[in-house]
Chains A and B, each alone.
Chain A
Amino acid sequence: MPFTAIEKILMKHSVDPLEKISPGEFVTAHIDYVGFHEGNEALTYQMFEAAGELKGVWDREKVGMFLSHHFCTGHSDDLAANQKLSREWAQKYGIRVFNFGSGICHIVIMEEGYAYPGALCLFADSHATAYGAVGAMSTQAGQEMIEVLLTGKLWFRVPTTHKYIIEGKTKKGVYPRDVIQYIVREVGLDASVYSAIEWDGPYIHSLPVPLRFPFSLMSVELGAKCSFIEPDEITLDYIKKRVKVPYEVVRSDPGAEFEKVYRFDVSNLEPQVCAPSSPGNTKPLSEAIGIRVDQVCIGTCTGGSIYDFREAAKILKGRSVKARTLIVPATDEVNRQCAAEGLLQVFVESGCNLFPPYCGTCQTLSMGHLGPGEVQLHPGPRNWVGRTAEGSYAYLASPATCAASAIEGKIADPRNYL
């Protein structure tokens, strides 16, 4: 009987040996890696206390604490105290702490090889779907992390799998960040609620791994529980020096059942802009040209890879920005690579401000807070009301569109600068 990759990963990790599995069934599975960030997790530790005091965790090598996400540097009394609590909680159990400057947790986990083909990972954050980009199954877990810390196991409902096939080659000035937000608009925010998404097709498999992250990470913006991209030669090359444990590549069997199949051809796609205040509110860039932006961020989890900064630097080289502009590399690795290639020099000379590797201004908790009525543009995954200051607005676009818009101080077409 043929199974999808996600079904096979769940079967492989099941506590009870399984020869078959179907969507809707419940499975208790062993977990390979779990992560926390500082966000509201201090509240989570307090909730853990409801279960009692821990003597330790099931395997401290398989747990990470990432001070990377919501507060970056602790810039207020409350946030600094919260970060201290997160650090101390992790240190008490011998859990590795990734301090600010390490970068956004989800990308760090893939760079450091904690997620790998066939692995089952959890993170106390919705964008945990990201690790599908390296052929792992990964999803969010919150308060129930206490069960995982105590036993290394958690229950799952087996999801149906939806296949999203992307074909064609994008035109100049059109990037993965444009493609994913176009797809979210086309199929809707609830297209894949509680399902797994398998991303496939020649377009996906032509991309370097970091440019696959927007698809796996933003799968949750389509309602998905987890994502999956079948590992290919590009994936295996990416993880070669990163993954330190033995692994087995898992693939969907020929004839496996996909509940829905979507097909997209991106050959004629124009650059896209997502308008306030929902990640489903995307339109062609041409309909947003000229909208004033007070602040631009280039970076974040879905626009902070080395490939993104190379494009942004091409546009910014020799030009000056009008909008106040934050450069936020996704990770320390990306930051170092930007430095090595001279990109940071380009950004500084164009008047951009360099920030530590971090989550970005998708949620303005630690940097780039906006005043009432102010507008920002960034390549992060979300622009919901409630993520930034009251009465402020966010547009989403590719890092290249962000760079062009920073120069003009209004939403601009990157193709004019490439």
Chain B
Amino acid sequence: MKKIGKKGWIEGNVWRVGNNVNTESITPSRWLHVGGKLLMQHIGEILIPDFPKKVKKGDIWVGGSNLGCSSSRNAPSFLKKKGIGAVLCGSASRIFYRNAINAGLPIFDIGKEVEKIHMGDRIRINVYTGEIKNLTTGEEIKAKPYPDFIMKIVEAGGIGSYIQSRKSEYKLLK
């Protein structure tokens, strides 16, 4: 059984940012360290002023190349907390990519195809197969599906719950 969405499909509206978007501009230092509530009120506003007020559960964050470069702060986990259901990008910084997987936030890098996706488009993504449908333009894109072991982390909802689900394999867990 597919555990994510309906048969693996996630659907939402696109919040589009450009190339080399750094994590400080998503989750600024001054809010990151003072606590969750303020950060959630201001997340992403440097890039898209309306974002924290208008994002809806299941929306899709879409970036260009090198998405989430710079600081290792866990921007993906905060985007997920804010309601983002999946991330698409031309390419992702390694840290952002792994943070997303480990936060259980599906992320697909789709190269130049990302240029076909614009702010406000309605997108459907199958997390298991990598099929992406742009319902606004009718275009279809195919992302490379995850290897099994990564899919298991995403499907479990992140590394914490994945480890929890295999608790008996860890001698050091109570």
Contact = CB atoms under 8 A, between A and B. Distances in A.
Interface string B86-103: 000001111101110011
B28 to A, nearest CB: 4
Contacts of A220: 70, 95
Contact of B170 (A151, A194, A279): A151
Contacts of A50: 158, 160-161, 164
Contacts of A382: 24, 70-71
Contacts of A140: 72, 94-95
B160 A47 contact: yes
Contacts of A291: none
Contacts of B147: 26
B25 A389 contact: no
Contacts of A223: 66, 69, 93-94
Task: State which size class the interface on B falls in.
Answer: 35 or more
Interface string A385-401: 11111100000000000
Tier of interface size on chain A: 35 or more
Contacts of A139: 94
A365 B30 CA distance: 7
Given A387-B29, A389-B30, A150 B172 contact: yes
A382 B28 CA distance: 13
A202 interface: no
B30 A150 contact: no
B174 A52 contact: yes
A106 to B, nearest CB: 12
B69 A190 contact: yes
Nearest to B102: A143
A124 B24 CA distance: 16
Interface in B143-174: 147, 149, 158-161, 163-164, 167, 170-174
B110 interface: no
Per DSSP, chain A at the interface is loop
Contact of A52 (B24, B26, B74, B173): B173
Contacts of B95: 126, 140, 142, 220
Contacts of A155: 149
Nearest to A43: B74
Interface in A250-287: 278-280
Contacts of B77: 47, 143
A367 interface: no
A316 to B, nearest CB: 29
A283 B29 CA distance: 26
Given A50-B158, A278-B20, A385-B24, A143 B103 contact: yes
Nearest to A188: B20
A353 interface: no
Interface in B63-89: 65-66, 69-74, 77
21 contacts: A39-B73, A47-B77, A50-B158, A50-B161, A52-B173, A55-B174, A143-B77, A143-B103, A143-B160, A146-B160, A147-B163, A155-B149, A190-B69, A193-B65, A193-B91, A193-B94, A221-B70, A365-B29, A365-B33, A389-B30, A390-B30
Interface of B: 19-20, 22, 24-30, 32-35, 46, 65-66, 69-74, 77, 91-95, 97-99, 102-103, 147, 149, 158-161, 163-164, 167, 170-174
Given A71-B33, A143-B99, 7 more contacts: A50-B164, A52-B164, A56-B172, A78-B35, A124-B72, A151-B172, A193-B93
Interface of A: 26, 39-40, 43-44, 47-58, 70-71, 78-79, 82, 124-126, 139-144, 146-147, 149-151, 155, 189-190, 193-194, 220-221, 223, 225, 278-280, 363-365, 382, 384-390
